[in-house]
A and B are shown apart, each in its own frame.
Chain A
Amino acid sequence: MRIGDAKQTYEADEAIWTSPTQKFWFALLLLSLLVFPFMANAYLLYLGCLVGIAVISTTGLNILTGFTGLISLGQAGFMGVGGYTVAWFSLNTGLPFPVTLLLAGLLAAAVGILVGLPSLRVKGLYLAIATLAASVFLHFIFAEWESVTGGMGGLSLEPAHLFGFSFQSDFGMYFIIVPLAVLMVFAARNVFRTRIGRAFIAIRDRDISAEILGIDLLRYKLMSFALSSFYAGVAGGLFAYFYRVVTPESFPLSMSIFYLAAVIVGGMGNLLGGILGAAFMTLIPEILKLLTAALTPFYPNAPVFMSPMLEIIFGALIVGFLIFEPHGLAEIWHRIRRFFSLWPFRN
């Protein structure tokens, strides 16, 4: 039983693991992630990969929106840059996937810096529109720069490969996507233990005060955009390898809204929130479909009646979270943890 959370040193305050219990549960989580592909069927494996990609992209957006306070509707565009980078390099150079993924992240980061330039002058809704414009502009490039992007027909690419091994199946892709997702969430966690991460948070909390404290706003805002876009680029690259086809319609504006919703539903400014939000947004439509399936034996035409309802239920769930739990799923998780931490001494 763990009671209280008193810390006596800076090291203890900054530690990732604050208790052996945490280590135990994290080890169990890693073990489950390792065992999962051997137990799951193709459908669950597919969903697992999808959640992995969503976690990376949501974590990236969380760095920008949740931790730095800069709203962005350009996430799908940055993912598109990553997807097309991977597809182009893979088709034209035959580079192995770690290199193409890195290039995808770097190019998306470069584009992110450009898109982030207005962030010194504008914020809030104005920045949202600026990033939205960037997203539209990128979509235009994907559709019209035919010699590079294949135009509206897009590009088809070969499976990811490394040392002669081809990651053709979802099983293979799982072992790229999920470790990378874990690694990148950890990297993000560590960013917020550094001066850079603390600068992001200071900017979010009050940018004028942050500037007075000596934080170079433009530098750190651009850094946040670069980092966030890097995550999006890698997620987009994985998306390309996973589906093995990229078209302009693979990265619609609704995808940006999806990730923003995942950040908000999960809990802004909380890495666990990003993970929970990504999983929630990806899995809930599938879980709701299970409800329909449960009705089918009694009423065979249930899908026809239920499908429009499921869209409404999904929307209502999101609105419900925003009203009743504005801090997102992460707060619910923390409450559960607190319950077990304090039990049996809770009042």
Chain B
Amino acid sequence: MFSNIFEKGRRLAGLGSLVAALTVTAPAMAQDKEPIVFGGSIPLSGVFAFAGVHLHAGLTDYTSWINSEGGINGHPVKYVMEDTGYEVDRSVAAFKKISGSDSPAVYYGDSTAFMKTIASELNSQGNTLMSGASFATALTDNEKYPYQFIPGPNYSQMFGIILEYIASQGEGGDKPTVAFVYSDTEFGKDPIENGKAKAAELGIDVVEDIVTKPGSVDVSAEVLKLRRVRPDYVVFHGYVLSPINEFMVQMRQMGLGTKFMGTFWSSDKLIIDKMGEDADGYMGVMPYNYYDSEESGPMLDALRAQAEKSDPEAGYRPTGYMQGWFNAMVWTEVVKRTLDAGKELNAENMAASLASIKDWDTGGIIGVPVTVKNMSFPVGRIWRVNAKEGRYEPVSDWIQLD
């Protein structure tokens, strides 16, 4: 454990030095304009720390990059965060503290639970626009959460993209069959009902739906259920790794030709690192290009250059990093649009600016121009693991939902 911590520390030391250097040089660049504050409740410790560290790195690197580009309309950007341990009460405490001292225009929430909990305060304050680690379908309810958005497709939309891909794979007019395997959590259950409705709409038969504990290991009974129905595809949701690996290995040992797919948080390189050759063929829906993909674009290139500059030895940057960077990109666009319109930087005006995003070129982070619909970006692509190369490769074009 200690070696992990120190290893993490070593890898991020470069990042720290860079931030320190930028802190020193920032005043020269900042002119005399007020800084725009990016706030964040970030899970640097606790069960979500594996992603939190990279989210933080993405947000930090973006802040450095945008400041090196002159800030937002000449306003320097200041990123203020606190560790939450992925606990709602600590996330709320961090929000109150940062709101009180720095008046953030935009804020990163670390969980669906936090974002739901803070919604009433966010709505009554009306100062801050929020997005974060959550892709929860509920947060795209504009009535209840008018000042929160999803930096990509929500979980139901991810299922929609996966199912559209599956529907396109049938031969001779036959649609493949599918089974849903999801965790017994709010996160896991989120897209299931909408996923079933979408499957029915596309004529796909959902032959089984299985709920497990997140991280469970003994899934032999569930595998037997799947063996009986022999689905063409199994879609996992609500996991990071386990029990995806157990399902895949056991079903392959039984000689089933089932293909396996997952949503954002279960489509990182972690699967390849942990499963090795067994991960080959696993597919994930991803709204952003992978760090090590062959895609390019001015912003994607800038991201890679900045990442390389901040920590030359770190190598691959996980999807959490991409998500952190993209969050900050959207915030910047929203703030810029609001300032350009000569409007006050409050939640209502920024939400309106967000809603106005249409055919926006993300510079290669997402491969097609994107449009905000219902406070989300309903676009993504299916990627498949090439275990030999140790990376994901695209197997579909970008799929945009209506």
Which residues of A does B touch, CB under 8 Å? 41-43, 45-47, 50, 143, 151-154, 156, 159, 168-170, 243-245, 247-250, 285-286, 289, 292, 299-301, 303-305, 307-311
Contacts and interface: CB of A to CB of B under 8 A. Distances in A.
B97 interface: yes
B240 interface: no
A41 B100 contact: yes
Q: B45, B82, B85, B184: which has the most chain A beta carbons within 10 Å?
A: B45
Contacts of B16: 299-301, 304
22 contacts: A41-B100, A43-B93, A152-B185, A152-B186, A152-B190, A243-B88, A244-B120, A249-B186, A250-B113, A286-B93, A289-B83, A292-B83, A301-B15, A301-B19, A303-B42, A303-B56, A303-B81, A304-B15, A304-B44, A304-B56, A307-B85, A311-B45
Given A42-B100, A46-B92, A304 B184 contact: no
Nearest to B82: A289
B30 interface: no
A311 B5 CA distance: 12
Nearest to A45: B96
A143 B185 CA distance: 9
B93 A310 contact: no
Interface of B: 5, 8-9, 12-13, 15-16, 19-20, 23, 42, 44-46, 49, 53, 56, 60, 81-83, 85, 88-90, 92-93, 96-97, 99-100, 113, 116-117, 119-120, 124, 138, 144, 184-186, 189-190
Among all A-B residue pairs, the 9 with the closest Cβ atoms: A301-B16, A307-B44, A307-B83, A152-B186, A43-B97, A307-B45, A43-B96, A300-B19, A46-B96
Q: A47, A285, A307: which has the most chain B beta carbons within 10 Å?
A: A307
A243 B124 contact: no
A46 B49 contact: no
Contacts of B9: 304-305
Contacts of A309: 5
B89 A50 contact: yes
B113 A249 contact: yes
B113 A247 contact: yes
Contact of B186 (A243, A247, A285, A299): A247
Contact of A250 (B13, B45, B88): B88
Contacts of B144: 156
B30 to A, nearest CB: 16
Secondary structure of the A contact surface, majority rule: helix
A153 B93 contact: no
Contact of A303 (B13, B83, B99): B83
Contact of A304 (B12, B23, B138, B190): B12
A249 B183 CA distance: 13
Contacts of A151: 189
Contacts of A244: 117, 120
A129 B116 CA distance: 32
Given A289-B83, A301-B16, A304-B44, 18 more contacts: A46-B92, A152-B186, A152-B190, A154-B116, A156-B116, A156-B119, A168-B120, A170-B96, A245-B116, A248-B186, A285-B85, A300-B20, A300-B23, A301-B60, A305-B12, A309-B5, A310-B83, A311-B85
A46 B93 contact: yes
Contacts of A46: 92-93, 96
A245 B42 CA distance: 21
B93 A47 contact: yes
A310 B144 CA distance: 35
B187 to A, nearest CB: 9
A74 to B, nearest CB: 20
A42 B120 contact: no
Contacts of A303: 42, 44, 56, 81-83
B96 A301 contact: no
